[in-house]
Structure 1
């Protein structure tokens, strides 16, 4: 059995915001449910008694991470994991790639090559920012699709509003189909096709209702996302990439089959 683990559920700034004294940030500072690290998920075999305490559990065939932001190291420490073999990246913004140098350094000290997967234009941007990464990481383009840990994966470019573009991924294995779309907004019809007929959708929603001028925005809010769900109709949806506007102690009256991600949450992929 395989599972999806939410290691990070926050937006680019995380929660708490260092400057903010709002009730949500204060609750997060005390270790509450609103403590959110930058977006990061693991796709892996379900942890059992046999592998629960293994600090090197994930080789190149056993699982992978999606994204590698600046909270990658703390996520690894929290779960007592000492190696990550494969990382699939959605786009080259700091909150999604800021941990790549630390990952590469871990690979150097362990004398193991990490496997980094992304669309070619994302890889090009990453190497402009971190030109030494390919010393310790093998870089693979996913423009024609890729198979990781048995998952058949297709990526496509999605609108990221004022921040340009990101990539979403559709993953299929043994009849289970899900998609990861952490950074998008106002998807036009041609970008929604691979979101059809999903067992699970992981979708980024930074605010419940964002009032900023639309031209300044980059991620769906919850109200907009719920409208999207009425069209694409996934069986289950989990909202991630949340700012300090979302309070997990509050009942938002979300429809059946829709929920907010929680740090450390585990979801079986079946």
Structure 2
């Protein structure tokens, strides 16, 4: 099997379409579905099993998209609603199938999850990964990044047999230290809410595409996929972006590694 990831969600915290919104992008998402976006998540398919990255409120529909009934492993970036609200439904699936799931995250994320959902460990095993972890032959390392008004999040760097890629869905205004793991990447998945966001900078929590392009000039990844996109982004628009940048789409598959 060629190891790959599948984009199960490419939307921001509210997803697209917004229930209240009749903008052109939300209207299109309801009709043809080109801009329909579940909350951001990817499934990483390895030779030794699948690893879901974030388990948000759209998790049941995302599982249907893959035709899967069982989930064993979840890697969590941070304990915000759009990234963990599917955990109770995962627990319920484990209960009904008589299975047990394993969740991986930094210990600080588990402290918040325990306060929000104190019953999840009845069927889910928590494995702190602050010092890194191995899965499917990948060495996976988290690091804390600035999430603007929303505090901090974690990004992950994956390395295996000379190939490196990173997932950084919820970040803005990274410090030089926080940028270091983004250097030397074959691929970067990066969150960008808008092409150009006009909101007060003090209220923002995720890069826009113009800011992301400046970041890419610094860290120089070979291939880039933008995710975590709001209803301010039209997937079919011709935004002036570098040729190595792709706007991720629901269900898109990306191969991992040189194999």
TM over 0.5: yes
- Write the distance in 2 (CA, Å) between the matches of 1:24 and 1:249: 10
* Structure 2 residue 147 is the aligned partner of structure 1 residue 166: no
- Write the distance in 2 (CA, Å) between the matches of 1:218 and 1:165: 9
- Asked whether the equivalents of residues 53 and 75 of structure 2 are also in contact (C-alpha less than 8 Å), the reply is yes
Aligned partner of 1:42 in structure 2 is: 43
- Write the distance in 2 (CA, Å) between the matches of 1:79 and 1:152: 25
Query: What stretches of structure 1 of length at least 5 have no aligned partner?
Result: 47-60
For the residue of structure 2 that corresponds to 1:244, the secondary structure is coil
* Structure 2 residue 54 is the aligned partner of structure 1 residue 67: yes
Structure 1 ranges of 4+ moved more than 4 A = none
Please list the CA deviations of residues 106-164 of structure 1 after superposition, one character each: whole Å capped at 9, or x if unmatched: 11111111000000000010011000000000100001110112110000000000000
- Asked whether the equivalents of residues 52 and 74 of structure 2 are also in contact (C-alpha less than 8 Å), the reply is yes
For the residue of structure 1 that corresponds to 2:29, the secondary structure is helix
Please report the RMSD computed on the Cα atoms of aligned residues, expressed in angstroms. Answer: 0.9
Residue 220 of structure 2: which of 219, 233, 238 is its match? Answer: 233
Residue 76 of structure 1: which of 49, 63, 69 is its match? Answer: 63
User: For this pair of structures, how many residues does the alignment match?
Assistant: 256
Query: What stretches of structure 2 of length at least 5 have no aligned partner?
Result: none
Aligned partner of 1:101 in structure 2 is: 88
- Write the distance in 2 (CA, Å) between the matches of 1:246 and 1:79: 25
Aligned partner of 2:115 in structure 1 is: 128
* Structure 2 residue 138 is the aligned partner of structure 1 residue 151: yes
- Write the distance in 2 (CA, Å) between the matches of 1:173 and 1:31: 38
- Asked whether the equivalents of residues 9 and 39 of structure 1 are also in contact (C-alpha less than 8 Å), the reply is yes
Please list the CA deviations of residues 85-110 of structure 1 after superposition, one character each: whole Å capped at 9, or x if unmatched: 10000000000000000011111111
- Asked whether the equivalents of residues 146 and 152 of structure 1 are also in contact (C-alpha less than 8 Å), the reply is yes
Deviation, 1:78, is 2.1
- Write the distance in 1 (CA, Å) between the matches of 2:256 and 2:66: 20
The range that moved more, 223-232 or 108-117, is 108-117
* Structure 2 residue 6 is the aligned partner of structure 1 residue 5: yes
For the residue of structure 2 that corresponds to 1:140, the secondary structure is strand
Deviation, 1:253, is 2.6
Q: TM-score, with normalisation over the residues of structure 2?
A: 0.97
For the residue of structure 2 that corresponds to 1:192, the secondary structure is helix
* Structure 2 residue 129 is the aligned partner of structure 1 residue 142: yes
For the residue of structure 1 that corresponds to 2:164, the secondary structure is strand
- Asked whether the equivalents of residues 17 and 231 of structure 2 are also in contact (C-alpha less than 8 Å), the reply is yes
- Asked whether the equivalents of residues 63 and 148 of structure 1 are also in contact (C-alpha less than 8 Å), the reply is no
Q: TM-score, with normalisation over the residues of structure 1?
A: 0.93
